[in-house]
Structure 1
Amino acid sequence: MNGQRMMIFSGGELGEWALDYLSPDDVIIGVDRGAFFLIENQVTPTIAIGDFDSVTAQQRQFIEQKSGKIWACDPVMKDLTDTEMAFHWALEQNPQEIILFGVLGSRFDHSLANIHLLLKGLQKQVRCRIIGKHNEVTLIDHMTEVQKDRYTHVSLLPLSMSVTGITLEGFQYPLTDATLQIGDSLGISNVLLGEKGKIQIKTGYLLVIQSRD
């Protein structure tokens, strides 16, 4: 599985839009109810992971029958969320990229914990993204380019106490060698002037959030 994309589907905000990102060579990881979503849409998970406390007994049986592999755990005696378990498994496969779907939703605690997973990927030098219906989230410690695609706004938020040397090219509101402290809102709701823009930083961890209403 070295060098492949790992596509993690958890049980949060999902829809047919998420299936459009799949390619034949992807490793597909279904997490709890996310595995059932995949199978309902005629997609076979490479592996299904979780405690499966968000599905019925009949749905779990369906997941076990239709998935390539199953990694089940006790719903109480565990230290990690199902999504973090799946993320660790994906990292161990030495992937080219990890993309997470269904990890944003009504549970803000889970959404925030899932955003923090991006740091684990960055520290392993694996490109990671969270893609939702209205948002795409990445974390950088050096440089990235963003495409306008289907998004109208780009927001920048520190994940570390401060981020220094922020320089933007191709944005309506440019920055040059700027610093953002955690809690600052200066980086919210920027707009690309063209089809792409460039973001560079010198130190720290910066969340790059592309969004649309």
Structure 2
Amino acid sequence: MGSKIVIFTGGRLGEWALFLANSASYIIGADSGAWFLVRNGISPDLSIGDFDSVTEAQLKQIERGSKQTLACDAIDKNYTDTELAFLKAVEQQPSEIVIVGGLGTRFDHSLANVHLLVQAAAAGIEAVIMDEHNEIRLVTNKLSVNKGDHPTVSLLPLTEQVDGINLTGFKYPLHNATLAMGQSLGISNVLGEKTGHISISSGKLLVIQSKD
């Protein structure tokens, strides 16, 4: 089994997220995500960011509770804290990257984090963004999804058009379909079987598994 890196960053986090650390080969805390880990008794392998979302006292606790801490200037940097953590994860070439807390009240940050899935795909790394209600993945070729506790599956193009979409194991199957940006055809499908299979011939397709 390959390695799994879990990144905890500063969006929506809660007790529901703590179990995700159990299956991680390597844990990264980004900015206030590092504080979330440390105050819950989890020692990140790496804490990284400008730490402008924590107090000086909290930062000292992060440094004591982390195996390594990399602090950068809040002004003189070209990446968000989440992307800094993500790039460090990619350097290790894991088999999977899980981003927790990548969705929150800042839609600009949430959307930028979704775009990180494109970088992961280019590096040949499976990646998922998770919160309490959603699991978001990117398909550039094919993907299998399990029913689990996220019964609703929505498909949204991340390129202007996605062609050759095939769905099997869904209540509403598709065969050689096309989705263009602005269309809602792919919203709120449901898995009819335990596992659903998705394949495309061109483009980039977001797969969002959700529960209310």
What TM-score results when the alignment is normalised by the length of structure 1? 0.97
CA distance in 2, matches of 1:164, 1:11: 35
CA distance in 2, matches of 1:122, 1:81: 19
The code of the aligned residue for 2:160 comes to: M
Shift of residue 96, structure 1, vs aligned partner = 1.2
Q: Aligned Cα RMSD in Å?
A: 1.2
Q: Which residue of 2 aligns with 1:48?
A: 47
Shift of residue 21, structure 1, vs aligned partner = 2.1
Q: Which residue of 2 aligns with 1:75?
A: 74
The unaligned stretches of length 5 or more in structure 2 are: none
Q: Which residue of 2 aligns with 1:153?
A: 152
Matches within 5 A, 1:80-95: 80-95=79-94
2:2 is the alignment partner of 1:6:
no
Show CA shifts across 1:53-107 (max 9, x none): 0001100010011100011101111110000011001000111110000010100
CA distance in 2, matches of 1:132, 1:144: 20
The unaligned stretches of length 5 or more in structure 1 are: none
What secondary structure is seen at the aligned counterpart in 1 of 2:148? coil
How many residues are aligned here?
A: 212
CA distance in 1, matches of 2:67, 2:149: 33
What secondary structure is seen at the aligned counterpart in 2 of 1:146? strand
Matches within 5 A, 1:1-213: 3-23=2-22, 26-213=25-212
CA distance in 2, matches of 1:78, 1:66: 25
Identity rate, percent? 51
The code of the aligned residue for 1:178 comes to: A
What TM-score results when the alignment is normalised by the length of structure 2? 0.97
What secondary structure is seen at the aligned counterpart in 2 of 1:185? coil
**C-alpha contact 2:97 2:127 (8 A) present in aligned 1:** yes
CA distance in 2, matches of 1:212, 1:24: 22
**C-alpha contact 2:6 2:100 (8 A) present in aligned 1:** yes
**C-alpha contact 2:6 2:24 (8 A) present in aligned 1:** no
What secondary structure is seen at the aligned counterpart in 2 of 1:177? strand
Shift of residue 111, structure 1, vs aligned partner = 0.2
Cα distance change, pair 78–99 in 1 and its aligned pair in 2 (3 A): same
